[in-house]
Amino acid sequence: MPPKHSAEAEYLPGQTLKYITSCDLPTPWATFQLHAFFEPATGKEHLALTLGEVGDGEPVLARIHSECLTGDALFSQRCDCGAQLETALRKIAQKGRGALLYLRQEGRGIGLINKIHAYRLQDAGADTVEANQELGFEPDQRNYNLCLPILHHLGIAKLRLMTNNPRKIAALEQLGLTVVERLPLLIKRNRFNDRYLTTKAAKLGHLMKH
């Protein structure tokens, strides 16, 4: 069932997403504005958090974050996702201005249940890329085209992007957005995520050095 639409709900350019509504979101670091969007083609709901004036044309400190329920909400140590989410929000709060897009693309786009299947394969010896491929998926199936209507809605065209993933930068620039600076978002390794992080660097091109 699609979400209830408030009076301010509107389709964004391209008709790929619909802006629903916004509200305050108090967090331990700052009170952000939380913006909700609906994707009719998939039934997914995507979010953006903003702080300060982000639509003034100046580059915006930003993070494009893909949903990771196990890391973001269940404190999994198998990845760096939850720690990256918290670090990005804290850095935006320290700056007093910025934006974080929260895209519902679990497991690099394969979905939560398939990600758990992939974890089972990793328990048996596969790495994160091999596990996705054994399940019949590409290593990374995320769609960054979703970013364009959201960022346009927020008035953002230039980003100081917190990411270790050069493919994410290339995808945004292909959409006509400008990434003026890449800021590393490196998380301390542990015995559970060490192979995962090494694989992301070796097979997905992630930049894991300061």
Catalytic (active-site) positions: 140, 142
DSSP 134: H
Who's near 146: CB < 8 A, 6+ residues apart?
16, 17, 39, 46, 103
Report residue 59 CA to chain centroid gap. Answer: 18
Q: Which of 132, 143, 127 is nearest to 200 (CA)?
A: 127
Rounded to whole angstroms, how far apart are CA atoms 170 and 36?
A: 25
- Partners of 101 in beta bridges: 48, 64
Q: Which of 49, 151, 153 is nearest to 102 (CA)?
A: 49
- Give me 171's structure tokens: 């995808």
